[in-house]
Structure 1
């Protein structure tokens, strides 16, 4: 077959452009596969679990989950809000999920199969008080203060729903504000996490002589929670595998010991 010379050059150009397009498409696809995904999780200030300063980064939970996600090329972004607002942000799809949560707090979300860790809520009074709460949580005429929308665990969650004689606060710095209400005599009992209070005492942000622990609830587990999407279901499968690895479990335990000493 005879081809005129003028036809050969356009054919070569078209062939070359086609090869370049294919190579470029492959490069874009390859880059997409290895591109880092960002996961944005909301939480509240709950140090040492979740902290937001240069020295503590994201707190023990944030550091732990950041390590797990980075092994899957996922960048963790943590944003801090008052707890009630953090819950609303997930519901409005403005964030991907919650860094720490319980099913009672956000029943519509997808939760990791294994807990990240556990927390223990305790009752606190002023040092001069004789109040004590063990198995019974009957507060009588004593005024209890709690944080709005917190999941404390049973039987306290049910008690809070049924009783109106309770002071409920929201917003920022809730632990400090609860303690302030207690010391000023505006409430008789507050409930907050044992490790959070111990951490504040160790860092001298609370005078240990002003308040005392007056009983505790059983420990409860907290989990990573994500919005219900197919992509998040797949991601949780990976996270579930990481959370049961002995080296990761030991890493978290050590983080808890190390950061609590600082």
Structure 2
């Protein structure tokens, strides 16, 4: 955690005592790594959504334990109550979960090609012209329902990958020309290259969907709704004090 963030959080903790829980209550949040939204759990900078959750829930008397796992497993295990919440989802993707009253960030899901391609995304009707690489059970803001699910058995149109570290695998498939385009969140793709001091060599062929990102809580946990409400209260305090804007600035993210 950055020094500025830590100092400000210390002020909050002394100024605003916990309202909804006893000290030491641990909330386990899970997701696959999707940096800069949520990065490696042991990283100095664990991600935008992780830092917002930790600071907001700490104001309510909770401590966040963040764990990384494949997205499909994360959804399944939170749904059945193995873990408290999932990071980076939306109501369309996990409709029966408990959500805070405000999103934590905004995702921009775009299609990317090699630089010499002249294909552009102009709507769903333009997708059959390419073989698209996607991650299994990602919603992509609506692309899953509108195109991926209806074509998931069509190998000429889709290559669907699952597991960990899927984005680098999709990029490699694109370089090998086994797919013509891949779907990715813009900041996530840029961050993949920027952490190595590079700019993305891929071509943005068009924005497909925008999506509000939330941390949602298990419908199988007795305190799922309570945790969503606690996150809402904590986030309101952070917004009032300018702390969310400070986190976004730290990660060079200017829009949310």
Q: Which runs of 4+ in 1 moved over 6 A?
A: none
Q: Supply the distance in 2 between the matched residues of 1:157 and 1:249 (Cα, whole angstroms).
A: 38
1:140-168 per-position Cα deviation (integer Å, ceiling 9, x unaligned): 24201110010112355311111123111
Match of residue 220 from structure 1: 211
Q: Supply the distance in 1 between the matched residues of 2:85 and 2:144 (Cα, whole angstroms).
A: 25
Match of residue 187 from structure 1: 179
Structural RMSD (CA): 2.2
| Closer/same/farther in 2, CA of residues 202 and 148 from structure 1, 3 Å limit | same
User: How many pairs were matched up?
Assistant: 228
Q: Supply the distance in 1 between the matched residues of 2:206 and 2:111 (Cα, whole angstroms).
A: 5
* Equivalent residues of 2:89, 2:214 under 8 A apart: yes
Q: Supply the distance in 1 between the matched residues of 2:88 and 2:212 (Cα, whole angstroms).
A: 10
| Closer/same/farther in 2, CA of residues 198 and 160 from structure 1, 3 Å limit | same
SS in 2 for 1:208: coil
| Closer/same/farther in 2, CA of residues 47 and 56 from structure 1, 3 Å limit | farther
Match of residue 224 from structure 2: 232
Match of residue 5 from structure 2: none
Question: Which deviates more from structure 2 when the two are superposed, residues 191-200 or residues 242-251?
Answer: 242-251
Question: Which deviates more from structure 2 when the two are superposed, residues 199-208 or residues 123-132?
Answer: 199-208
Q: Give the drift of 1:55.
A: 4.3
Match of residue 56 from structure 1: 44
* Equivalent residues of 2:136, 2:160 under 8 A apart: yes
Q: Supply the distance in 2 between the matched residues of 1:162 and 1:259 (Cα, whole angstroms).
A: 36
Match of residue 118 from structure 1: 106
* Equivalent residues of 1:120, 1:220 under 8 A apart: yes
SS in 2 for 1:133: coil
Q: Supply the distance in 2 between the matched residues of 1:208 and 1:115 (Cα, whole angstroms).
A: 27
Any gaps of 5 or more consecutive residues in structure 1? 1-32
TM-score, normalization by structure 1: 0.79
Question: Which deviates more from structure 2 when the two are superposed, residues 43-52 or residues 95-104?
Answer: 95-104
| Closer/same/farther in 2, CA of residues 80 and 220 from structure 1, 3 Å limit | same
Q: Supply the distance in 2 between the matched residues of 1:137 and 1:217 (Cα, whole angstroms).
A: 12
Q: Give the drift of 1:243.
A: 2.6
Question: Which deviates more from structure 2 when the two are superposed, residues 180-189 or residues 223-232?
Answer: 223-232
Q: Supply the distance in 2 between the matched residues of 1:127 and 1:115 (Cα, whole angstroms).
A: 33
1:116-152 per-position Cα deviation (integer Å, ceiling 9, x unaligned): 1111001000011110013445222420111001011
| Closer/same/farther in 2, CA of residues 155 and 93 from structure 1, 3 Å limit | closer
Matched ranges for 1:127-138 at <5 A: 127-138=115-126
SS in 1 for 2:142: coil
* Equivalent residues of 1:124, 1:213 under 8 A apart: yes
**Structure of higher CA gyration radius:** 1
Q: Give the drift of 1:105.
A: 1.6
Q: Return the match for 1:74 from 56, 62, 65.
A: 62
Q: Supply the distance in 1 between the matched residues of 2:43 and 2:252 (Cα, whole angstroms).
A: 13
Q: Return the match for 1:244 from 236, 253, 256.
A: 236
Q: Return the match for 2:90 from 72, 85, 102.
A: 102
Question: Which deviates more from structure 2 when the two are superposed, residues 86-95 or residues 175-184?
Answer: 86-95
* Equivalent residues of 2:30, 2:74 under 8 A apart: yes
Q: Return the match for 1:65 from 42, 53, 73.
A: 53
* Equivalent residues of 1:126, 1:183 under 8 A apart: yes
